[in-house]
Amino acid sequence: MAQPIPVEPLDPDRVNFYIGLLRRMLLLRRFEERAGEAYAQGRIGGFCHLYIGQEAVATGAIAALREDDYVFASYREHAHALLRGTGPRAVMAELFGRVDGCSKGKGGSMHLFDVKNRFMGGHGIVGSHLPLAAGAAFAIKYRGDDQVVICFFGEAAVNIGAFHETLNMAALWELPVVFLCENNRYGMGTALERAAAVYDVYRRACSYDMAEETVDGMDVLEVHAATERAVARARQYRLPTLIEARTYRYMGHSMADPIHGHYRTKEELEEQKLKDPIEQLSQRLIDQGLLPDSMRAILTQAAEDEVQDALTFADESPDPTDQLYTDVYRD
Ligand SMILES: Cc1ncc(C[n+]2csc(CCOP(=O)(O)OP(=O)(O)O)c2C)c(N)n1
Ligand SMILES: [Mg+2]
């Protein structure tokens, strides 16, 4: 039988930090589960891409940022907005298409936006936000500031020309940006073998003049440590980094396709769930006596309460007016 890989002991002095990460991942998980239910009940319209299974990536990475850094993400971005400080009420209301949503109910699930918290979307076109992230990084450098930009995208974005153009220019112009590829092994329903092969071929063929790291995207601490290194490189030396986080989504590509069946087996899904990011961190904390069982129950209940409050708030929020355009930059 395969020997388990030994894990580094946790540092007892950082227990509050670990519990903070756990608390956030529990909130994301519960938020997405309840959003999935609300979608099935017809309370959310349009597309809805859930992040369940991938929580360690955004949680670990965003915990390495300062408040004045910038985050860009794809359409699978509820978690990224929540972690950036857009409250569960404003995110849920946006999914419900209500006026109190962070994009005033006119963006929906794929187009969350929150300038105040420097969350720069929510982008539906695969790869389209990579040049925008590089542009923000260029502006930071041009002004002589020291913020960092982090750009999350799926592995299918390496098929898009903008990925290659952006990485080339970010390397050439030495921009303070972290490109974080969330490789969840599937681009929509593309078979695993094909998606993974395409990703590997591109990555082998195109080597950019920048630091690269591959991390276990189911391990929140590993993601956090790699992102901290990349952020330091960006902030101190204004250099870009490409991080590939190997992760897995438990749900279908969106609420429009089944959890499994067409392109993956139930067995594969169950095997991946054994590496669940929330369970992994909880277990490590429990094994070292840093998390009493009662505390885990309290954190889970607190997440549930926060999400229930967000659902009630979203339900009660009015529909947007018939004005087509609202300037989300202005207030
Ligand atoms: C330019 C473009 N082509 C195709 C699509 C349709 N599409 C939406 S999501 C997706 C797959 C993206 O997969 P990946 O980048 O791995 O992200 P994941 O959904 O796995 O998070 C595709 C092809 C799109 N939105 N934009
Ligand atoms: Mg993918």
Cα 124 to middle of ligand 1, angstroms? 8
Indicate which ligand has the atom closest to the C-alpha of 128: 1
Residue type, 292: P
Q: Is 155 in the pocket of ligand 1 (CB under 6 A)?
A: yes
Distance between CA atoms of residues 181 and 179, nearest Å: 6
Q: Is 50 in the pocket of ligand 1 (CB under 6 A)?
A: no
Cα 146 to middle of ligand 1, angstroms? 32
Cα 124 to middle of ligand 2, angstroms? 14
Question: Nearest 5°: CA angle at 163, between 162 and 164?
Answer: 90
Of the candidates 103, 70, 95, the residue with the CA atom closest to the CA atom of residue 84: 70
DSSP labels, 220-276: HHHHHHHHHHHHHHHHHH---EEEEEE---SS-SSTTS-SSSSSS-HHHHHHHHTT-
Q: Specify the pLDDT at position 202.
A: 64
Please give the domain boundaries of the chain with CATH numbers for all domains. Answer: 14-312 (3.40.50.970)
Cα 293 to middle of ligand 2, angstroms? 34
Q: Is 154 in the pocket of ligand 1 (CB under 6 A)?
A: yes
Q: Is 184 in the pocket of ligand 1 (CB under 6 A)?
A: yes
219, 59 Cβ separation under 8 angstroms = no
Distance between CA atoms of residues 173 and 234, nearest Å: 12
Cα 183 to middle of ligand 1, angstroms? 12
Residue type, 24: R
Q: Specify the pLDDT at position 1.
A: 44
Tokens at residue 208, please? Answer: 């950019």
Residue corresponding to tokens 């005033």: 104
108, 45 Cβ separation under 8 angstroms = yes
Distance between CA atoms of residues 110 and 46, nearest Å: 9
Which own/partner pairs from 203-207 qualify as long-range (CB within 8 Å, at least 24 positions apart)? 203/158, 203/244, 206/164, 206/167
Which residue puts its alpha carbon closest to atom 3 of ligand 1?
Answer: 126
Atom of ligand 1 nearest to the CA of 153: 15
Residue type, 229: R
**pLDDT tens track of the chain, all 331 residues?**
445 566 789 999 999 999 999 999 999 999 999 999 999 999 999 999 999 999 999 999 999 999 999 999 999 999 999 999 999 999 999 999 999 999 999 999 999 999 999 999 999 999 999 999 999 999 999 999 999 999 999 998 988 899 999 999 999 999 999 999 999 988 876 655 555 556 666 666 667 788 999 999 999 999 999 999 999 999 999 999 999 999 999 998 988 886 766 778 899 999 999 999 999 999 999 999 999 989 999 999 999 999 999 999 999 999 998 666 666 665 5
Cα 125 to middle of ligand 1, angstroms? 7
Q: Is 264 in the pocket of ligand 1 (CB under 6 A)?
A: no
Distance between CA atoms of residues 264 and 313, nearest Å: 37
104, 326 Cβ separation under 8 angstroms = yes
Q: At what angle do helices 277-287 and 15-40 cross, to 10 degrees?
A: 150
Cα 175 to Cα 64, 142, 179, 209: the distances in Å are 18, 10, 11, 12
How close are the terminal C-alpha atoms of the chain, in Å? Answer: 59
Q: Is 188 in the pocket of ligand 1 (CB under 6 A)?
A: yes
